[in-house]
Amino acid sequence: MRLAVLRPQVPFARGGAEIFTDTLVDELRARGHEADLVSMPFKWYPGARVLTQAFLWRMLDLEEADGRTIDVVVPTKFPSYLVRHRDKRVWLVHQFRQAYELDRTELAQFGSSPEDRALRRKVQELDRIALGEATRLFATSRNVAGRIEASTGLAAEVLPHPPQELDYRCQGYGDFVLSVNRLDRAKRIDLLLEAVARDAALDVVIAGDGPDRSRLEQLAHDRGLNGRARFAGRVSEGELADLYARCLAVYYAPVDEDYGMVPLEAFLAEKPVLTTTDAGGPLEVVADGSTGLVVTPDAAEIASALGWLREHRDEAASYGRAGKAIASEVTWDRAIAKLLA
Amino acid sequence: MKVAYFSPMPPEQTGIADYSALLLPALRERVDVTVVRRGSRRASRGTDVALYHVGNNPDAHAWIVDAMRRRPGVVVLHDFVVHHLVAGMTVGRRDGHGYLDAMEREHGVVGRLLAHGVLDKRIPPLWEARPADFPLALFVLEHATGVIVHSRYVGDHVRAAGYTGPLSLVPHPAWPVPEITPHALAPGPVVGCFGVVNASKRIPELLQATATVRGTHPELTLLLVGPTAPRFDLERRLQRLGLADAGLVREQWVDERRLWELMAASTVVVNLRHPTMGETSGSVVRGLSLGKPLVVSDVGWFSELPDDVALKIPPDEDEVPTLTAALELLASREDVRVQMGAKAAQLARREHDVERVADLYLAALEGAAGGAAVDDAVLREVSQAAADVGISADTAEATEIARRLAEVELG
């Protein structure tokens, strides 16, 4: 089968969606399919630019390439699903969240002017039209599927995908808590730092980079964490696998995350995950007292929970092993079989 | 965003006034709404968008259409047929030319000639004799920057009339069920019918069907609630069918509380009509909220009710036998009544929830208030980009760009 995986690309940015789409292409090829990545830059500001950039996808002709038919297109993010194709199988990582649940939050893009309000509605209308054209509609998590249904009335099939391939292993339960995230406000690394400030025995390693880094580093300095919070920046795959292998537990508490690969990665290293009651997608795999701990998004609660894991390493290991059993069920074989069925 | 809200309001006794009283608190939680005083000619300064509730009654809505002509805005089209409204705003104001023009604009020279016939009293008034054939909705739609409808039926007619602007389908909101002390009106099943008693509500057909069903179900009672229309000979029909002395409970106009009590006491709610003016029915929505099995005419909005909540009666030559069979079924099968009632209550909660309706109103208002500016910005950027690479108007490439924009409703 000849497939095009579609990915909007913010130049110079790389995150979970990029890893997912790159891996999907590789996995399709490994199964004998002819697959390629079709990518276009995406900019969502100022003003109506979000719509005109989205419209670029509508102008593409991906019915065939170089005289040969493209059997299936697989759009993965807004606005790639605006593309026209007779077999459009959307596998949605997320919609344009600023038009939905992030509206009127501190992460909002659209203001209160009539033009901004109308712009937001136009984005929603695009979703309704373009997702409604899909021959199959998949969502990477129940959380994403729920948002699609709430915003468009369309029912999406839940189709999770495995995390990136690393040398996952467990080398015990060390003295530090690991955070793996792009550093932006929605990931709430600041809550973790505040928790560390409350427990002098807590150490954290913060892997990842992003626009919130300097603020977070300043916060760590202000709280006098004095080396107990180490900002590792963007780490190599080998370093990341090593951090997963040695950490006590993984902190992952974004606001209403779509799905989140980090819990599955932590589980594959047999590590428990600490998340929050409002984290969204992670709650589909992190169960309190089973594969990790779930607390309210409060620094004291987080400090207490991490302290408990430090004092109960047998339970932490047990949670990690239970998580591994869940993560091991999410395979590319199953995902691709369903995508192409 | 500031919204100027034009609607009849209580204590006016119209369904749309009740509707607005229900909707406004939920809408006000989402947006800054000012209810415009009846008779005002325009919205206040600083208004971002005006919302006009338009129905067919000129007494209730003429002032609203007058205001809309000064400032276009979003129209909630409660009836598709507004001939009576247009007649009231033209003929009723001694503006015969206005009526002639309205008829000609939508129905051509034939329309103008017929309008002359009406003005010269050569033919009966069309708003009484044949309103559905001459709906005159463009009289309203030409001033709409957006249109809200309650049914696909009206939406399709709006498009067929040539309106190309934003169109939103928003369900009729459902009232919360008040605390009611249940009491039985009669020992057997009660068929409740609410609204004006006249021929277009298919009362003659309902009486015939009821009389037949009572042959096998003498315990069945018909409850008729609402004033009798002038010239409708209800008493004679009741006597002829043997319903005058038994099997009938009659109430005239009742207040809201009594309406709920009577509907709660009904086993089945019947709401028939033909022809339809494209309207919805507050009684049917109340019936849904109460979880009552429904019997409706298979027309307009009523046709769009799910089959598992309403038995639908086509207004054809078999109307009476079909209606009879429906009443027979519901009178004799409690399991069917329970199943339909449960589905009805679910539908009310799912589709007609007032919070959901207010969300949909907000979407329509926000889309309308800034939509034109956004469309302009998109078109400006796309056309500039096309021009930059040498694509000029009236070329195949420009046509394709326009087609793709239209597909996704941009620009």
Q: pTM of the prediction?
A: 0.84
Where does residue A227 fall: left (phi above 0), alpha (psi -120 to 50 degrees), or beta otherwise? left
**Per-residue confidence (pLDDT) for residue A16, from 0 to 100:** 83
What confidence score (pLDDT) does residue A147 get? Answer: 93
If you count DSSP H runs as helices and E runs as strands, how many of each does chain B have, helices first?
16, 12
CB-based contact A15:A7 (threshold 8 Å): no
Residue B321 has pLDDT above 90, yes or no: yes
**Confidence category of residue B181, pLDDT binned at 50, 70, 90:** confident
B43 pLDDT above the threshold of 90: no
Per-residue confidence (pLDDT) for residue B377, from 0 to 100: 94
Question: What ipTM did this prediction achieve?
Answer: 0.81
> Which residues have CB under 8 Å from B354's CB, separation 6+?
B22, B23, B26, B173, B174, B175, B176
Among A47, A113, A129, select the one facing B377 at the smallest CB separation: A47
Q: Which of B297, B269, B105 is nearest to B201 (CA)?
A: B297
pLDDT of B227 above 90: yes
d(CA B376, CA B361): 23
Q: Find the length of chain A.
A: 341
Instruction: Give A247 to chain B, closest Cα distance, Å.
Output: 46
Predicted pLDDT at A107: 81
Collapsing DSSP states into helix, strand and coil, what is residue A250?
A: strand
Query: Cα(first)–Cα(last) distance of chain B, in Å?
Result: 22
Spatial separation of the C-alpha atoms in residues B62 and B54, rounded to whole Å: 8
Nearest to B381 among A52, A121, A124 (CB): A52
Q: Angle B15-28/B282-289 helices, nearest 10 degrees?
A: 60
Task: Inspect the interface and report whether the beta carbons of B369 and A52 lie closer than 8 Å.
Answer: no
pLDDT at B182 over 90: no
> With 80 as the cut, is the pLDDT of residue B411 above it?
no
- pLDDT digit string, tens, across residues B6-26: 999 999 988 899 999 999 999
* The predicted structure's pLDDT at residue A13: 86
- Split chain A (341 residues) into runs of 10 and give each run's mean pLDDT: 97 88 97 97 93 96 96 98 98 94 88 94 96 97 94 95 94 96 92 96 95 96 93 96 98 91 97 97 96 97 97 97 96 97 96
Contact A130 B401 (CB under 8 A): no
Question: Average pLDDT of B197-214?
Answer: 96
Asked if B270 contacts B157 with a C-beta cutoff of 8 angstroms, the reply is no
pLDDT of residue A44: 93
B370–A116: do the CB atoms touch at under 8 Å? Answer: yes
Instruction: Please indicate whether, in this complex, the C-beta atoms of A49 and B371 are within 8 angstroms of each other.
Output: no
Calculate the average pLDDT of chain B: 95
Calpha distance A258→A145 (Å, rounded): 9
Region B218-247 average pLDDT:
93
Q: Give the model's pLDDT for residue B349.
A: 95
pLDDT digits (tens, 9 = 90+) for B246-287: 899 999 989 889 999 999 999 999 999 999 999 999 999 999
Judged against a pLDDT cut of 90, whether residue B44 lies above it is answered with no
Give residue A52's Cα distance to chain centre.
Answer: 26
- B410 to chain A: which residues are within 8 Å by CB? 51, 55, 122, 126
